[in-house]
Amino acid sequence: MRKTLLPILMLLTACNQGPTLERLGGPTMGSSYSIQYVREPGGPAPAQVQAAVETILQNIDQHYSTYRDDSTVSQFNQLPANQCLALPPDMLELVTLGQHLSDMSDGAFDLTVEPLLDLWGFGPQAREEHVPDPQALAQARQRVGYQHLRIDGQALCKDAPVQLDFNSIAAGHAVDLIAERLRAMGVASFVAEATGELKAVGHKPDGSPWRIAVELPREDRQVARQIFPVDGLAVSTSGDYRHYFEQNGRRYSHTFDARLGRPVQHDLAAVTVLDRSALLADGYSTLLLILGPQAGWDFAVAHELAAVLVTRAEGGFVSRATPAFERAVKGE
């Protein structure tokens, strides 16, 4: 009798087991990724989710990493002027978005800043962080400009030796792909994050909302500036406070204004954007950071972006949230 009863009891225990919160993560894109998801009874195990997520991230690395000579973007960057390269559809979509953001910002946002990143010390071919001499800067600027790109069918062409850098939008794209894959696996509630870009959907196992903390732009330690619930939205924060160098008392960040050929020089320290698309949130947060405190604010309000702009002020920081952001955090 006991031999029959024990499997039945085990089956009943398994059937009564409720949803659990699973966590996993690992390295990616020179940083890390993390996944939290609610596993319902019969839902995918962490090992299955991790394998699916890492397949996506490996594909992103294969296509978009400028640190790999064999990546798709590196193959394009190595081409001389007046050459074309067939690209996967999603890469062409990202180029199209980049071109759109460039048009909207009058060229401040530009995917072709790779030569400038290298010259100033922030790119994969960089040797040291420094302010370049005017002649070297002028030469590098000849190889920058989104207007030199042209999509021809399934190929991307260039009429100058420009080089692409997708770091401003690739992580957001990865998060969207991960979110789509999780849903396809039957996961209804999750937080997917890659290199700081994230998307939260659904609720925790107890029914409470996912709560996202946005930190103050400080170099010394992590301090939460604002904590708010998120459901169905991506959160992207761009800032100048992690990757920068100082020379002769001046600060130079890795955020470039392509129109000027140099890092931005204003008091806007960080921008957070909410959007249903992590790709768009990623791109817009970078665009607003490039534009600066007033032009960025005007752009965000005009385009009804859910954004918070954090500006350096004497003794600390000042935050401004757009009306769209206030509505978004209220779930409106």
Q: What is the pLDDT of residues 79-94, one digit of tens each?
A: 999 999 999 999 999 9
Of 156, 227, 232, 219, give the one whose Cα is nearest residue 188.
Answer: 232
Domain containing 101 equals 71-158
Query: Looking at residue 302, which CATH number applies to its domain?
Result: 3.10.520.10
If pLDDT is split at 50, 70 and 90, which confidence band does 224 have?
low
In a domain, 296, yes or no: yes
In a domain, 133, yes or no: yes
Residue 49: is its pLDDT beyond 60?
Answer: yes
Alpha helices in the chain, H assignment, sequence order? 2-16, 46-64, 72-77, 89-104, 114-120, 134-141, 170-184, 278-291, 293-302, 323-329
If pLDDT is split at 50, 70 and 90, which confidence band does 213 have?
confident
CB within 8 A of 213, min separation 6: which ones?
A: 224, 226, 227
Shared domain for 51 and 199, answered yes or no, is: yes
In a domain, 114, yes or no: yes
Shared domain for 89 and 125, answered yes or no, is: yes
How many percent of the chain have pLDDT more than 90? 67
Report whether 236 contacts 276 (CB < 8 A): no
Report whether 167 contacts 158 (CB < 8 A): no
Strand partners, 321: 308
Please give the residue that has the higher pLDDT: either 41 or 128: 41
Instruction: Give per-residue burial for 163-192: e unless 16+ CB within 10 Å, then b.
Output: bbbbbbbbbbbbbbbbbebbeeeebebbbb
Shared domain for 225 and 276, answered yes or no, is: yes
pLDDT of res. 125: 63
Shared domain for 48 and 83, answered yes or no, is: no
Distance of alpha carbon 235 from alpha carbon 122, whole angstroms: 25
Lowest model confidence (mean pLDDT) among 221-230, 233-242, 263-272: 221-230
Tokens 């859910």 belong to which residue?
A: 306
Tokens describing residue 149: 């790109």
Instruction: Give Cα 237 to chain centroid, integer Å.
Output: 8
Report whether 29 contacts 65 (CB < 8 A): yes
Give pTM, 2 decimals: 0.89
Q: What is the pLDDT of residues 127-143, one digit of tens each?
A: 666 777 889 888 988 99
Report whether 317 contacts 217 (CB < 8 A): yes
In a domain, 226, yes or no: yes
